[in-house]
Structure 1
Amino acid sequence: MPINELLLAEFDEEMKKTRTTLERVPADKPDFAPHPKSMALGKLAPHIAELAGFGATVLTTPELDFSNAGNRPRPPFEPAGLLKAFDENVAKARDALQNMKDDSWTQPWKLSFQGKPIFSGSRFLAYRQMFLNHMVHHRAQLGVYLRLNEKPLPATYGPSADDRMGF
């Protein structure tokens, strides 16, 4: 079985869980942050929505230097805009994943800023660490923000206090 086919089920499941979490973002709390060193919700939620498209970048380019990426507008901090941006980015990443060939996974991939390395490794590690694990990390952060704002948490890897999954 091709590697991309093995990864598609995981991709679909993680994106579904992330979308369900984004659906619960309170639109009236863009300035909320659980700590002064934490990212504000108005930055975190759009970051997650745009991060979904980073998977396509990892899978279709040999490298990315953030300083050359340009200033793209962030998705708007309102429910419909966040979900629209997320869905569009997920579609791009899924398309790139569907079209990956097995020999592409071992090719080198680099992430840098102004030429200074942030990550260097195989495309597979970049996909897993810099994209998918990164997405899950921020989704977990978002879960803390939701809990602190009395919003129900969706089940992700099992039941939550708010979503018992039928148990």
Structure 2
Amino acid sequence: MKTLIDIYREELEQEALTTRKMLERVPTEHFGWKPHKKSMDIKMLATHIAELPTWVTMTLKTDGLDFAANAYNPTDVKNTEELMQHFESSLKDGLSELTPDKLEHLEEVWTLRNGEEIYSASPKYAFIRTTLSQIVHHRAQLGVYLRLLNIPIPGSYGPSADETNF
């Protein structure tokens, strides 16, 4: 029977297929573009998506993240090629921690906070699930960005409207 580690590993590998297709379409010349003043620019959004697999590693190796004590410093990718390299490196990192010996740590509590304000405190297995969901969530946001830039959207769980005759 598969363990939760096996299931998460398979899911991360499966989602990486679609994530690659989305990230490779982010045009360097539009890195500063954003659909709204409250939105991230496309470079920041894509970089965040690319780095999310490392959150699996962070979850398994730490007991939490405190935004007040850890300023967010995304990798400064210069072009789409560097974005893709960053994603592949992050994916390799996240997959490297989804090993059988980590199974015993999945019940440990992992806390996401900003100083004294606690956003969530849950078992590590639950936060890994949240991380996988964040990949899908932010990838969907990226799909909207690409659509607004008239860039064809690749299919995720089947063909997209750009890949069919809809």
| Conserved 8 A contact 1:46-1:77 | no
Q: Which runs of 5+ in 1 are unaligned?
A: none
Secondary structure at the counterpart of residue 162 of structure 1: helix
2:117 corresponds in structure 1 to 116
1:39 offset after TM fit, Å?
1.3
How far, CA to CA, are the matches of 2:161 and 2:105 in structure 1? 41
Deviation at 1:99, TM superposition (A): 4.5
Deviations 1:69-115 (A, max 9, x none): 35545231411111111111111100111245333221111011223
Structure 1 counterpart of 2:162: 162
**Amino acid in the other structure paired with 2:11:** E
Aligned residue number for residue 3 of structure 1: 4
Distance 2:33 2:61 in 1: 35
Output aligned runs, 1:1-167, within 5 Å: 1-70=2-71, 72-129=73-130, 131-164=131-164
Aligned residues: 163
Select between 75-84 and 22-31 the one with higher mean Cα deviation.
Answer: 75-84
Q: 1 CA distance for matches of 2:153 and 2:32?
A: 20
Structure 1 residues 2 and 73: CA distance shift in structure 2, 3 A: closer
CA RMSD of aligned residues (A): 1.7
Q: Larger deviation: 5-14 or 63-72?
A: 63-72
Q: Call closer, same or farther: CA 1:100–1:3 in 2, change over 3 Å.
A: farther
Separation in 1, partners of 2:116, 2:18? 34
| Maintained 8 Å contact 2:47/2:74 | no
Give the percent of matched residue pairs that are identical in Structure 1 and Structure 2: 34
Shift of 1:57: 0.4
Between the aligned partners of 1:41 and 1:73, the Cα distance in structure 2 is 13
CA contact (8 A) 1:49 1:75 kept: no
Counterparts in 2 of 1:73 and 1:36: CA distance versus 1, 3 Å:
closer
CA contact (8 A) 1:50 1:75 kept: no
- Return the TM-score normalized by structure 1: 0.89
Letter of the 1:141 counterpart: Q
Give the distance between the partners of 2:150 and 2:113, measured in 1 at CA.
38
1:156 alignment partner, SS class: coil
| TM-score w.r.t. length of structure 2 | 0.89
Compared CA separation, residues 10 and 84, structure 1 to 2 (3 A): same
Q: Which runs of 4+ in 1 moved over 4 A?
A: none
Q: 2:38 corresponds to which letter in structure 1?
A: K
Q: Give, in whole Å, the separation in 2 of the partners of 1:148 and 1:99.
A: 42
